[in-house]
Chain A
Amino acid sequence: MQIGTRKLFNRSFTFVSIVSIVFMSLALVVLLGPIFVKGSSAFIFRATIEHRELMLDRFGRGDRAAVEAEAARAAAARAPVFEAIRAFEAQLDTASADFRSQYRSDYTELRSLMLELLGPGPGEEEPVLMRGQYGQTRWDRARIKLQEILFIEEYDYSDSSKMGVKVLKPRVDRFRGTSLEPAFALLENDAEEMLRPRLTWYWRFLFDDSYDSHFFGGIWPEMLGTIYLVIGAMLFAVPLGIVTAIYLSEYAGESHFVSILRTCISSLAGVPSIVFGLFGLAFFINTVHVSPSKSVLAGALTLAVLVLPTVIRASEEAIKAVPLTYKEASMSLGASKWRTILTVILPAALPGVLTSIIISMGRAAGETAPIIFTAAVSVGKPLAVWQTLSQPTPALPWNIYNLATEHQAIDEIRHVQYGMVLTLVALVLLLNLTAIVLRARISKKLRG
């Protein structure tokens, strides 16, 4: 080949490599960037006085005197609004039937929006659901609510050649001339005074119980469920996987049967995870009855079956990669085969085996489909260890899906969902990072 052509090939190869690396890095940034930015909104946000009151009531956190003083200032700022409301209600009671029918529906809508923004006013009865007992705890959500109160969204279809155009109409127009009118100006101007937003670092989001379908609190039940499932799956998959890998690499030889076995294990790795979920339901719950219904145990077993092929194949490769000379040296000193495996081969294969385990942990943490039928529920309390044998649990991947698809008011709590996604991604990244560090350290120790 001509030297010019060779150089050209070399250069274009380098170029293609660089392009693909840049492309991958970009993809990573595009993928992870929004996850981190949006996810962090669950941890760092401008919390209103309602948030601080909630923390005090439910978790006993914060300085009671300070919070109460601040709440009193907020209540003072809100007082004129509630005054206007009471005045309007009195007006409604005494007014003519015409007046009542004119304002009834508009007022009902406004009243419920107000309740969502500020919570129940002084002297009003406490609603049953927790979400009714507090106003907006987050300033970003409060501003959206405020917008909804101040403006009515309408669509203008007057131009028939176009689709409807969204127009915002001030709600105050509906109440012109009533005693409610001044409330709108107050809300528009003094909302900050009423809610007192303050930048808050809510790291306890990870470790707080969730309240009222994730409207308040954190994601600890989901975190704990995921941790239980991962540890449980590893308890089953690791010993079984390593023993199988030892058998395949050291004892099985190269018979026809063994090659079929290997093919089966590889195919198992390619089976869609939802099939594992159905298998877990049909086998572990309905046939073996490991638990009366869904449970962490059944989910862990299902996840173990899912990651088993990965553990086996990777461990087998790691064991096969141990130099034959180690084995020879050990055998020549009179070590039995079992002894050689235990004292020489497994320690030398440890970096590879560990990597396979930790990557499997990441996989088990993130899998959704296998736990749908076997372990996951959408709402639950954190479980004690012994309860995992018989009880289902919320878990991060399933609850992300569940919030996105089945929650009645997901728009109100997007930040919880984003927080869960960030937590899950961070958990998996952390596991992978541990794998890399551990592997590097052990390899270094082995190299001397």
Chain B
Amino acid sequence: MTGMSGPEETVEETQGTFGAPLAKPFPKARSGGPQPNGDPLIRAKEFSVFYGTKAAVDRVTLDIQAGKVTAIIGPSGCGKSTYLRAINRMNDLIPGCGTAGVLSLEDQDLYAPDVDVVALRKMIGMVFQKPNPFPKSIFDNVAFGPRIHGLNERGTLDEIVERSLKRAALFDEVKDRLDHNALGLSGGQQQRLCIARAIAVDPKILLMDEPASALDPRSTTRIEDLIGELRGDYTIVIVTHNMQQAARVSDMTAFFYEGRLVEFGDTDQIFTKPRAKETEDYITGRFG
């Protein structure tokens, strides 16, 4: 396990971030900030996800590179969302869901029995298809993550909330009503708030599950612009139905079909010179 730092260092670092020691330290190189591009960060080797006996993701081998925006495209039911949710183990919430093969983050097997899921999810932020702010104030929404990780000091919280909201390009719109209920925001604002909320815990990776599919075109554009701004600071994996969107925002594109990874490569190459017949059919709109 080359990417793992020593246990003492790890503890120190996790404590350093938010004060409270995590139950089980999770290896963590650096969070936020520019990351070396191109190194494989999330590696899947013959990785499968089962719902009962049905394989939703079928023996996928895929290296997602640090600091890049990777789009996962494919028709409905191709397993792209399942794959995404396997990365931060959100599938654990679904009864009867099992995995096979290896999915690792910085050489740490995500499905090893001794993995601390809480620490893992802190490193991997997620933005969902439907904006899902809590029915709390805007401030409390963003501060939720830092708070559960043991940060309660008002000054630091204020700072984190402001920084996160600015990063999510929402601060100017809401700075005068941070104590208003988040559900009073528009759909697009809510989704940017969810991004701010995810950023607030200082993750390395942002998973986005069709983040713009429930939004109107203008809000969609803003989200896409935001992804462009976050590029480089975070490793972003975005699942999308919208091929133009994938082409616009991503560096790398993976095409999933019926649970399998059909093709993975530079976005330009996938959309201009797809190698596989299925990819070509899909991006030219012959199915899906």
Residues in chain A within 8 A of chain B (CB atoms): 253-254, 323-336, 339, 343-344, 347-348, 445-448
Contact = CB atoms under 8 A, between A and B. Distances in A.
B67 interface: no
A344 B136 CA distance: 9
6 contacts: A325-B130, A331-B93, A334-B119, A334-B122, A347-B135, A448-B180
Chain B residues touching A, range: 20 to 34
B137 to A, nearest CB: 9
Contact of A331 (B121, B184, B197): B121
Nearest to A322: B135
Interface in B172-201: 180-184, 194, 197-198, 201
B135 A332 contact: no
Given A333-B125, A333-B144, A327 B118 contact: no
Contacts of B132: 323, 325-326, 328-329
Contacts of A339: 148
Nearest to B194: A329
A448 B90 contact: no
A254 B133 CA distance: 29
B148 A333 contact: yes
Given A334-B201, A448-B182, A448-B183, A328 B128 contact: yes
B82 to A, nearest CB: 14
B267 interface: no
B95 interface: yes
Contact of B148 (A323, A328, A343, A348): A343
Q: Which 8 A-B pairs have the closest CB atoms?
A: A448-B181, A448-B183, A334-B122, A325-B132, A332-B126, A446-B135, A448-B184, A333-B145
B88 interface: yes
Nearest to B180: A448
A447 B88 CA distance: 29
Contacts, number: 81
A343 B144 CA distance: 9
Contacts of B130: 325
Counting chain A CB atoms within 10 Å of each CB, the highest count among B119, B126, B132, B184 belongs to: B132
Given A326-B132, A344-B134, A334 B148 contact: yes
B181 A329 contact: no
Nearest to B137: A448
Nearest to B124: A332
Given A336-B148, A446-B183, 13 more contacts: A253-B95, A254-B95, A328-B93, A328-B132, A329-B128, A329-B134, A331-B93, A332-B126, A334-B145, A336-B118, A344-B134, A445-B135, A447-B183
A279 to B, nearest CB: 36
A334 B144 contact: no
B145 A448 contact: no
A447 B126 contact: no
Given A253-B95, A448-B180, A332 B148 contact: no
B241 interface: no
B36 to A, nearest CB: 24
Interface string B111-126: 0000000111110111
B149 interface: yes
